[in-house]
Amino acid sequence: MDDTSTAFEAAADRLATAAPGTRSAAVDGLIALADADPESRQPVTDAICEWLRTPTGPDGAQERSAALRSLADRLRVGGTASPWDGISVDLDGATLVDADFRGCRLDGAGFADTRFHGTTVFDGATFEDDVTFQRAVFHGDAAFTGARFEGDAWFGRVRVRGRADFTGAAFEGTAWFGRGTDTWWEEDEAWETVEEIDPAPWNEPNEDDPEWPVAVLVEDYQDWEEGGDGARFAGDVSFVDASFAGPAWFYHARFGARAAFAGARFAERVHLDQPAVDLTGAHWAGGTEDGESVWPLGWAVRPAEGGALVPDASVEPYARQLADADPAVRSAGLRILARLGDDRPDLRQEVVVALCQFLRVPVPFDLRADGRTEEQATLLRLRQEAQWTLARRLRPGSEQWPGMHLFLCGATLVDLDLSGCEAGYAEFVGAQFHGTTRFDGSRFERASFTLGGPSGRATFHGDAVFGAAPPDGVVFHGAVT
């Protein structure tokens, strides 16, 4: 064993065993060793990341933040005289405060199940290989402006409780903001450690499913659309002028506020059907290798203009009113959509998808709290208007739209009344039902309320009327009849 290896092992042991208040010196020793010896930089990074992944105590937060700053400065182009190249970081499951990776160049990077507190910055960062953020939680703002993802970028089931900014980001591989699961082949060794995944508890407002984030699917048996809920953005999110060279997957993503994709460039398959999305000035190159793309109702690709995304004149008078900030305009949009479906049977399923996506927008206040502001009451009236619009078109009669499929995965539904309704597939996986819910007399060709286990189960936070056997695997907090 050479002197450098011996020095590294001694320094790594000092960090692992140091008492609170003395760890900064141990980190500084490791950093100094790696500055002097490039061969030790990856092992030093691994040792620091291993310590950062250990449970955090209240007495060690400042030391951890200082260690992360020192490490990030070595990975930042221009941060030191000789930045460390070709370094991978594994911070899966770590708790990081005010993490600042701006301008850093990383090889591989693992942030799955990481808890980011404060403001998180990856502006101008470059990820030279795949990067994983599955199930990560950003408790504050997350900035990725100008970031470059040269491999696949996995943001499935990520939660951003502040603002998310991907303005000008470049995704050269898959940009995955869909379901928050991993997909493995049957023989993948990862199955041996699946129970070690430690996601943050699912403690979002109005929802009660702590184990919802974990759901692993077998590759080649499920399509991309399956597997539950996707990324969740509570605040405004910007992908303005972002570029997507590979598939851009936002199926089942949930946008709680504005979602700006103005000027974005798409090259391959896209699934982005949320009605609140703004695609002004966006373009699509027409790649269909992985399948057909799906766009929000109200937008269309114009090949004659280089694949520009433009307002879709074929669905007038609907002009993306559900994306408007004015509740009166959104209410008018709901009525316009209903009439559009009444008049155009060929558009009915698209209209239903738009209404379902509207109901999948997270409710930002506690439905169980006493008293509501006028703004909150207006929001609930809009959501109940959308529910009523769906129910009216699903009940047999002159206005019925037969054979519709409902996609309400993760939706928050208040006083939902689908009594006597008929539909094809009805997906309520992980949905949260508040108030009184009625399914009596309803008939679905197939209905899902759970992923088949504790993850992704629907919960009823009030009385539920089925008139038949209730679904298995769900949770009831009220009377069931």
pLDDT at 7: 77
Q: Kindly state whether residues 363 and 285 are assigned to the same domain.
A: no
Q: Is 180 found in the same domain as 68? A: no
What DSSP line would sit under 291-348, residue for residue? ---B--TTEEEEGGGTSEEEE-GGGTT--SGGG-S-HHHHHHHHHHHHHHHHH-GGGH
Determine the pLDDT at residue 224: 46
In sequence order, which residues have a C-beta less than 8 Å from that of residue 296 and are 6 or more positions away?
272, 273, 274, 275, 277, 279, 320, 354
Number of domains observed in the structure of the chain: 3
Regarding whether 72 and 50 lie in a shared domain, the answer is yes
What is the DSSP code string of 162-174? S-EE-TT-EESS-
Residues 114 and 24 in one domain: no
Residue 67 domain-assigned? yes
What's the pTM value of the predicted model, to 2 decimals? 0.93
pLDDT tens-place string over residues 273-294: 999 999 999 999 987 777 889 9
Q: For residue 277, how many other CB atoms are within 10 A of its CB?
A: 27
- Is 14 in the same domain as 153? no
Question: Do 236 and 107 share a domain, yes or no?
Answer: yes
**Of 53, 80, 107, which closes a domain?**
80
Looking at the fold, whether 408 and 435 belong to one and the same domain comes out as yes
Are residue 282 and residue 431 in the same domain, yes or no?
no
Are residues 276 and 365 located together in one domain of the fold? no
Q: Give per-residue pLDDT as tens, 161-209.
A: 999 999 999 999 999 998 765 667 778 887 788 777 778 887 888 887 7
Domain containing 220 equals: 88-311
pLDDT beneath 70: ranges in the chain: 1-4, 57-59, 79-81, 180-183, 210-228, 452-455
Cβ neighbours of residue 91 under 8 Å, at least 6 residues apart? 49, 52, 53, 109, 110, 111, 114
DSSP line for 234-269: SS-EE-TT-EESS-EE-TT-EESS-EE-TT-EE-S-
pLDDT value of position 1: 42
Q: Give me the pLDDT at residue 207, please.
A: 82
Cα–Cα dist 462/393, whole Å: 25
Residue 326 falls inside a structural domain: no
Q: What is the pLDDT of residue 182?
A: 64
